[in-house]
Amino acid sequence: MQMDLAAERNRDSLMKSALIAGWLILCLVTILAYLPGLDGPFLLDDFGSIAPLGDLGGVVDWMTFKAFVFGGHAGPTGRPLSLLTFLIDANNWPADPWAFKRTNLIIHIVSGVLLGILIGKILSVLKYDTQNARWIALVAAGIWLLHPFLVSTTLYAVQRMAQLSTLFIFAGLIGHLYGRSKIASDASKAYLIMSLSMGLFTLLAVLSKENGILLPLLIGVVELTVFSTQKNANVALNRYWAWAFVVAPSIIIFLYLARTALTHNFFDISPPRDFSIYERVLTQPRILFDYLQNWFVPKLYTSGIFQDHFAKSTGFFSPFTTALSMVLHVAVVSVAIMNRHKWPLFALAALFFYASHILESTVMNLELYFEHRNYLPVAFLFVPLVTTLRKRVGAKLFMVTAVFAMLVLAGFTRYSATVWSDYSSMIEVAARKAPMSARAQGQYATDLYNAQRYDESLSVVARAIENNPQSAFLYLAQTNILCGLGVLDDDELKTAAQVISNTPYDPRSISIYTTLTSSVVAAKCPGVSLDAVQAMFKDMLRVPENANPQSLRYSQIQYFIGFIDAFADRPSQAVAAFEASLRARPGAGHAMMMAAVMATNEFHNEALHLSDLALSQLRSTTLDPRLMERIRESDIREFRATVQADRDAELAKDQAEQ
């Protein structure tokens, strides 16, 4: 008997050691798979959220700390916790992207471990054998860690926001399961743990990204699919606690979404989007199907950060796959709910997926498609398959199959991470994957131009314009390329302007417009006059969406009009346009940018006038860190002193010449 007990202890010890080794190997393989991607560059939204590190000369004291951490503009909360974690990697700008991607990878691995713990606890509730549950959890979490569909979240520095929100939701679910396991033995302690866990981790998740508010709803999904199917083995939740902490918050979420849908012009297109909320709702079933397809049929590489190629649905049968996708999702949800007692893991995987998409894939006026939205929802999708495999085959075949599957996924992820290590390779692959994406094609054409592959560049952008003849972005890209080659003239610009000027202005394209205007000012395209460029911007104001004098679009357009007037030696008109821009979007930094333009053109009095406006706007800034200016009063006064000195020197020179 003692020998049997000793042998059993030895087996348990070996299994624990093997399990620990399995997790260590999994983490190492994940690191190796992602390693090439750590050398990749910052991208797109990274600059909007991370570059402000350097706005005030770096985060070096409480004032600059507060301005950066609490001054975010990504979402209603500003996501201060995510911004705080960026200080782990740098406190100034420019910064090394490697450090940010390294931290993202660490968060990804920690989240994978938490997911493994969470899956193990859920399987334990469902009365799975402890050893089997642990190995199933390792394999299912390993698939999540190594899946190539999550590369674009992990290696896109700013998507740490989605990562952290997911990490805290996993932690909150674990806390709930731990507290719930104590109900039978100590109900007071159990409800205290569950309440604190939900409150703390919901707060942390929301401060990372707003969809962290879904934690109560997701706990409800776990209760509905896991605990409600095991009534004989588990104590039911106190109904008052359930209503207060699960049902009521979930109802609030649905009421918020309903209010959002009703308060927007449901059938109207609101630029810069080219779709209405109605069309977005119609399109999302097709997008969710695409997400699922990418998860269950992994790709070596996807279109990555460029997703504007996904055509919107305009009716239930336009395209026909809209209706088919709706039927599919309704069928899956119906089967999951009706058969949750029979297939609890399938019900959990399905309902968790849809519940996690409830904010970003319904009526919120966001872009149609982004891969990072799946970082949380796909967490349990492979759990039913892995558990079924474990039931149907022996332990050795199960492990061989699991290892093979994870190595294939690791290979896919390694390839994708290698693509993400170089901006040019990312753009090229994205352009090939998404021939209808205006942004991918425009960026690819620009990249080819920068590589001095001029004929290819022009060919790519011309072909893209044939596919997207109403894309202002593509015409801008083509115009900049022709300007850089010195072959752009007023007639060519006028042709492009017919599309550009009649399209609602997209503030996200400000850098492209800046390149064009700066190139014309610097005489890099001698065939184009300043007046021709200014005419394009003035024509934009005929578009109703651009003509709102309180809008960001109006502010940016007026800035470009003033910028051209300044270089065309029309200082009074430039000041008038700049002041109109400032009335639409006040800001000391904005005013100082205009003042610098005037000073560059030696319009000293106008520069001093605009710097006066900057001082007055700086003083009127509230104490809200999100409204704090990225410029100091001392900087403005130093600028004024320099301009005054230049003006006085010029006056003295004029007097001497007289």
**Domain co-membership, 51 together with 86:** yes
CA dihedral of 585, 589, 595, 599, whole degrees rounded to 10: -150
Q: Look at residues 4, 12, 36, 16 and name the one whose alpha carbon lies nearest to residue 411.
A: 36
**Domain co-membership, 442 together with 366:** no
Tokens 């014309």 belong to which residue? 520
pLDDT for 424: 86
pLDDT for 627: 47
From CA 533, how far away is CA 317, in angstroms rounded?
Answer: 43
pLDDT for 588: 83
**Is the pLDDT score of 66 beyond 80?**
yes
Q: Look at residues 381, 416, 385 and name the one whose alpha carbon lies nearest to residue 304.
A: 416
Strand partners, 527: 489
**Is the pLDDT score of 49 beyond 90?**
no
Looking up residue 515, the CATH number of its domain turns out to be 1.25.40.10
Tokens 């003692």 belong to which residue? 2
CA dihedral of 635, 640, 646, 651, whole degrees rounded to 10: -170
Average pLDDT over residues 6-34: 85
Higher-pLDDT residue of 586, 121: 121
CB contact set of 177 (below 8 Å; sequence gap of 6+): 118, 121, 122, 125, 222
**Is the pLDDT score of 621 beyond 80?**
no
CB contact set of 12 (below 8 Å; sequence gap of 6+): none
Residue 616 lies inside a defined structural domain of this protein = no
Identify the H or E element spanning 30. Answer: helix 2-34
Extract the runs of DSSP E, i.e. beta strands, from 283-395: none
Average pLDDT over residues 292-300: 93
pLDDT for 437: 84
CA-to-CA separations, 433 to 43, 241, 346, 429, 549, in angstroms, rounded: 18, 49, 32, 6, 40
**Domain co-membership, 107 together with 199:** yes
Residue 25 lies inside a defined structural domain of this protein = yes
CB crowding 611-633: b at 16 or more within 10 Å, else e: bebbbebbeeeeeebeebbbbee
Say whether pTM exceeds 0.85.
yes
Of 550, 573, 589, the domain-final residue: 550
- Taken in order 59, 64, 69, 72, the sign of the CA dihedral is negative
Of 375, 394, 420, the domain-final residue: 420
**Residue percentage of the chain with pLDDT more than 90:** 50
pLDDT for 355: 96
Tokens 């624990």 belong to which residue? 16
**Domain co-membership, 139 together with 277:** yes
**Domain co-membership, 449 together with 411:** no
78: left (phi over 0), alpha (psi -120 to 50) or beta: left
From CA 169, how far away is CA 198, in angstroms rounded?
Answer: 9
CB crowding 304-323: b at 16 or more within 10 Å, else e: bbbbbbbebbeeeeebeebb
CB contact set of 385 (below 8 Å; sequence gap of 6+): none
Residues 506 and 272 sit within 8 Å (Cβ to Cβ): yes
**Domain co-membership, 480 together with 395:** no
Answer whether the bond into residue 319 is a cis peptide, omega within 30°. yes
Dump pLDDT digits (tens) for 180-230: 999 988 999 999 999 999 999 999 999 999 999 999 999 999 999 998 877
From CA 597, how far away is CA 128, in angstroms rounded?
Answer: 70
Residue 644 lies inside a defined structural domain of this protein = no
**Is the pLDDT score of 142 beyond 50?**
yes
**Domain co-membership, 448 together with 376:** no
**pLDDT-derived band of residue 623, with 50, 70 and 90 as boundaries?**
very low
Residue 656 lies inside a defined structural domain of this protein = no
- What is the number of alpha carbons within 13 Å of residue 127 lying toward its C-beta? 8
**Domain co-membership, 323 together with 243:** yes
Residues 595 and 614 sit within 8 Å (Cβ to Cβ): yes
Number of domains in the chain: 2
pLDDT for 381: 96
Residue 197 lies inside a defined structural domain of this protein = yes
**Domain co-membership, 388 together with 484:** no
**pLDDT-derived band of residue 497, with 50, 70 and 90 as boundaries?**
confident
**pLDDT-derived band of residue 123, with 50, 70 and 90 as boundaries?**
very high
Residue 384 lies inside a defined structural domain of this protein = yes
pLDDT for 524: 85
Residue 11 lies inside a defined structural domain of this protein = no
pLDDT for 630: 66
Higher-pLDDT residue of 619, 370: 370
Of 550, 585, 615, the domain-final residue: 550
Tokens 């902490």 belong to which residue? 245
Determine how many CB atoms are found less than 10 A away from the CB of residue 462: 12
**Domain co-membership, 413 together with 459:** no
Dump pLDDT digits (tens) for 554-606: 999 999 999 999 999 999 999 999 999 999 888 888 888 999 999 999 899 99
Whole-number average pLDDT of the chain = 89
Per the structure, the complete domain to which residue 543 belongs is given by 435-550
**Domain co-membership, 406 together with 442:** no
Residue 594 lies inside a defined structural domain of this protein = no
3-class secondary-structure state, position 318:
strand
**Domain co-membership, 248 together with 347:** yes
